[in-house]
Structure 1
Amino acid sequence: MDDLKSPEFGEAMQTGGPRTISFGPFQLDLARRRLSRDGLETPLGERALDVLCTLVAADGEVVSKRDLLAKVWPGVTVEENNLQVQVYALRRALGEDGDARGYIRTASGRGYRFVGDGPPSAAPAVPEQDIRYARGRDGAHLAYAIAGEGPPLVRAPLWMSHVEHDWKSSIWSGLLVALARSHALLRYDGRGMGLSDRDAAISFDAAVDDLEAVVDAAGLERFALLGISQGAAVSLAFAARRPERVAKLVLAGGYARGRLVVAPESAAALEATKTLVREGWGRDNPAFRQIFTSLGFPEATAAQMHELNELQRLSATGEAAARIMDMQAHIDVSADLARIRCPTLVLHSRDDAWIPVERSREIAREVTGARFREIAGANHVVLPQSPQFADYVGRILAFLAEP
C-alpha cells in the first residue's frame, strides 16, 4: 500500500498557507508536492512525502502516530511499523542518519514533530562512544563500546568487526547510527578480532561465553540481541542457554549450520582457502581480500570496496582469520532452534553469495513464531544506497519497538 498515491491528501495540503516552505538547504513545494535541496529535486516516496507535509503543516506541534496514520493512509487500517518505515525513509532523505536532533523529532510515546531549524551545523556525524574492556573466562580481553540511549540492544560480533573503525564505515554507520538513535547499542569485537585479544584461543563455546562476559561487564540483565552473519549462531546459542536474558532476537544473513556441517565434501576447498588467508591476508596489496569483498558485496561502490578491504585487514591477522574461518565452518546450533522462545525476526538477502538464503529459512522454520523476510539483492549486508535499505532498517526498528 505504501506505493499508492493519496490525491485527497495532496489537495488538502494545497489550501491555505504558503505554497513553499524552506528549511536549511531544503525547499518543500506543497502545491507541486516536491521536495528539493538547493534547487535539485530530492527523491521521496509518496507516503514519506505525506508524512513530511503533515508534520510541516502542524507548525512545530507534535502530531500523534494515530493522526499521522489517519492522514497518510486515509480510510485504510495499517500497522504502526508502516509509519516508522516512512519516517526513517524521510530522515534519510533529509540527511539525518547521524543526528538525533534533526528536522524530524520523536516525541517519545506520542508521535513526531517538525523543527524547521534542523540539526546544528557542527553536529557530529555519529554519536560519541567510549571503548571499554571485559574479560572472558580464560582472561582474554574483549573490547566493547556503547552508544546511544534507550532499551539495550547488543550486536554480537561478526566477520569482520572493529569497534573503532566499523563505527565510521559507510557500510555500517547508517545502520548503527539508526539503531543508536533509539537504543543503547552495545557492540564488541570477538576474540581474535579488532581491539580484542588477537592471540586468544578461538572456539564457538568461547564465543558464546564471551557474549555473557561482555553484557555482565556492561551491567545488562535483559536485552535485545542482533546477530549478523556468524553473530546469528552465537545469538541463537546464547538465547537457548540463557532465555531469561534475551528479550528479542534479530538475525540477518545468518546460519545455524556452518559450511562443513552442511557440505562435508567442501573440506579440501576450505583448507586451501585457509592457507591462502594465512599467507595473503595482512599484505598491503588488497587483491586477495578483494575476492571476499567482491563475493559478499557485489553491488558496493569502489570506495566501499576499499573500505571493506581495509576493515578486513585491520580486523584480524591472517592466522586469526584462518582460525575464525575454521570455527565458523564447524558451527552447528540446529539443536538449539526449537528451544528459542523470544520474538524473533529473520532477514536475508535473496542472492547472498556468502551465506545462501536457505540457511536463514532453516532458522525461521525451526524457531517457534519466527518472522522471515527475504530482501531483494546480492549483498551479504544491505548497503545504505540500496533501495531496500530504508525498509530493512525500518523493519528492524519497528520489530524492536513492539511491546
Structure 2
Amino acid sequence: MPASFRAGNPHQQIRFCRAADGVRIAYAVHGTGPPLLISTCWLSHLQHDWESPVWRHFLSDLGEFATVIRFDERGHGLSDWDVTDFSLEARLGDLAAVADDAGFPTFALMAMAQGGPVAITYAHRYPGRVTRLVFYDSYADPLHGMTDDDIELEDAFEHIIKAGWGRPESTFRRVFSTQMIPDATEEQLGWLDELLRVSVSPRTAVLARQQRKGADASALMPQLTAPTLVLHSLRDRMNSFAHARHLSTGIPGARLVPLDSGNHILLADEPAWPQFVTAVRDFLADDRESAPAPARVPLAQVLSGRELQVLGLAAQGRDNDEIARRLTLSVRTVERHLQNIYAKLEVQGKSARTAAVARLLSG
C-alpha cells in the first residue's frame, strides 16, 4: 500500500473499479495504518482535493495514522459522469465495489455528510467487514427534523444549481461555499467555488440531491453492532446538529463528540480540528493493534498493457534501447513508461528498476 506522508511520499494512489451496474468508480489510497474507508461526501474530486487549502489537512492528518481509502461518487470527480441512478442501492454498490477492490478484508468506515445512509446500510448488510463506524457532520435521514421552511430552502437551492452552477463566475456557487465554510478565508472560499464547478455537472448535482432525499436508513440504526463515534459541528449550516443527536441516540453505544465550529468542513486553524483528529485517532487505536494486511493487487490491475510489456522485457535484462526496438517505440517513450511504472509501484531511486522487476517476478 502507499507509504505515509511521514515516509516522505506525499502521493496518493488512484485506482478504478466497476460497480455492479458497470459504472466506473475512481478511488484513492494513501497513508499508513489500519484501513479507514470513507463513505464519500457530497462533492469530491480526488485530484483537486489533493491540492486543496480546504481538504489537504484532512487528508494528510488522517494519513498519519490510517490507510485512507476514499472515492469519487458516481457522477462526480474522476468517476463516470454519465449517470442517472443515485439511489441508495446504487450508491451502496459503489461503496461495496471500492471496499472489495481495495483488498482489505475488514476496515473502519467513516461517513461524511450525505454518506451516512450508505455507511449505515453497508454496516448492516456486511457486519463482518466493518470494525467500527465514524460519522462526521452526517445523518441517517436527510429529512430528519426539517421544517417546511427548510424544505422550501432546499427547493430554492436546486433552482440556484440549475441557474448558475456551471457559469464561469462563482456568484451562484458562493451560496453553497459560504454555507459549508462560513469562517473561511477568501482563498478557501474561492477554492471551494472551483471544486463545485469541476466536481459535478449542474444536471447531476440536481439529480443526486433529489434522489438522496429518499435515502433514509434510520430503521437500521438499532441493529448496528460496530463501535460508533459521532462527530458533528455544533453550528453546521448544511446538516444541523439534530442529525448528530439522531445518530447517537439511535445507534447502540454510540459516542457523541460535539465540535465547537460553524463549519461543515473543519478548517486546519480552528480549535475543533485537533479535537477531531485526536478523537478519530484514539477511536482507531484498537484497529492499529490488529490491522489486517491488504490482499496484493495483481499488477494487471495496476499497470497498463504496454507498461507490463516494458517491465517484462526489463525483467529479461534488456536495456532501454533494446526495449524500444522490440516494441517499436522511442527510447524516451520507454523511459516515460518506466517512470510511470515506478510511480505506480511506489519505488524510487537507483534501485527502482530492480524493485519493479522483483515485484513482477513475485507475482
Normalising to structure 1: TM-score of the pair?
Answer: 0.67
Which of 297, 300, 324 is 2:208 aligned to? 324
| 1:71-82 aligned within 5 A | none
- CA deviation profile, 1:284-340 (whole Å, cap 9, x unmatched): 110111001111211011100011111111110000111111122222110010111
Which of 379, 390, 394 is 2:263 aligned to? 379
1:179 positional shift: 1.5
Structure 2 CA distance for aligned equivalents of residues 264 and 218 of structure 1: 42
Change (3 A) 1:344 1:260: closer
Instruction: Say how many residue pairs are matched.
Output: 283
Q: Which amino acid aligns with 1:270?
A: E
Structure 1 CA distance for aligned equivalents of residues 146 and 217 of structure 2: 12
Q: Which amino acid aligns with 1:301?
A: T
Report if aligned partners of 2:145, 2:242 keep a CA contact under 8 Å in 1: no
Give RMSD over aligned pairs. Answer: 1.8
Indicate the residue corresponding to 2:66 in structure 1: 183
Unaligned runs of 5+ in 1: 1-97, 102-122
Indicate the residue corresponding to 2:53 in structure 1: 170
Report if aligned partners of 1:260, 1:329 keep a CA contact under 8 Å in 2: no
Q: Which moved more, 1:255-264 or 1:300-309?
A: 255-264
- CA deviation profile, 1:187-240 (whole Å, cap 9, x unmatched): 101101101111122212111111001111122221001111011221111111
Unaligned runs of 5+ in 2: 288-363
Change (3 A) 1:268 1:298: closer
Secondary structure in structure 2 of the residue aligned to 1:142: strand
Which of 98, 109, 122 is 1:238 aligned to? 122
| 1:2-401 aligned within 5 A | 99-100=5-6, 127-200=10-83, 201-259=85-143, 262-263=146-147, 267-401=151-285
- CA deviation profile, 1:94-146 (whole Å, cap 9, x unmatched): xxxx9415xxxxxxxxxxxxxxxxxxxxx56xx21121111011100000111
Structure 1 CA distance for aligned equivalents of residues 102 and 272 of structure 2: 33
Indicate the residue corresponding to 1:117 in structure 2: none
Report if aligned partners of 1:261, 1:332 keep a CA contact under 8 Å in 2: no
Structure 2 CA distance for aligned equivalents of residues 261 and 317 of structure 1: 29
Change (3 A) 1:269 1:387: closer
Change (3 A) 1:398 1:260: closer
Secondary structure in structure 1 of the residue aligned to 2:45: coil
- CA deviation profile, 1:125-180 (whole Å, cap 9, x unmatched): xx211211110111000001111232111011111011111122121111211111
Structure 1 CA distance for aligned equivalents of residues 145 and 236 of structure 2: 19
1:268 positional shift: 4.8
Secondary structure in structure 1 of the residue aligned to 2:69: strand
Structure 2 CA distance for aligned equivalents of residues 272 and 295 of structure 1: 14
Percent of paired sites with the same residue: 35
Structure 1 CA distance for aligned equivalents of residues 106 and 281 of structure 2: 18
Report if aligned partners of 1:260, 1:266 keep a CA contact under 8 Å in 2: no
Structure 1 CA distance for aligned equivalents of residues 145 and 246 of structure 2: 14
1:348 positional shift: 0.5
Structure 2 CA distance for aligned equivalents of residues 301 and 265 of structure 1: 29
Report if aligned partners of 2:5, 2:63 keep a CA contact under 8 Å in 1: no
Report if aligned partners of 1:136, 1:213 keep a CA contact under 8 Å in 2: yes
Structure 2 CA distance for aligned equivalents of residues 284 and 336 of structure 1: 42
Structure 2 CA distance for aligned equivalents of residues 377 and 139 of structure 1: 40
Q: Which amino acid aligns with 1:315?
A: S
Q: Which moved more, 1:270-279 or 1:179-188?
A: 270-279
Indicate the residue corresponding to 2:347 in structure 1: none
Q: Which has the higher contact order (CA 8 A, sep 6+)?
A: 2
Report if aligned partners of 2:259, 2:275 keep a CA contact under 8 Å in 1: no
- CA deviation profile, 1:74-99 (whole Å, cap 9, x unmatched): xxxxxxxxxxxxxxxxxxxxxxxx94
Indicate the residue corresponding to 2:317 in structure 1: none
Change (3 A) 1:142 1:99: closer
Q: Which amino acid aligns with 1:329?
A: K
Secondary structure in structure 2 of the residue aligned to 1:226: strand
Secondary structure in structure 2 of the residue aligned to 1:244: coil
Normalising to structure 2: TM-score of the pair?
Answer: 0.74
Structure 2 CA distance for aligned equivalents of residues 280 and 260 of structure 1: 28
1:350 positional shift: 0.6
Structure 2 CA distance for aligned equivalents of residues 333 and 284 of structure 1: 37
Structure 2 CA distance for aligned equivalents of residues 248 and 330 of structure 1: 25
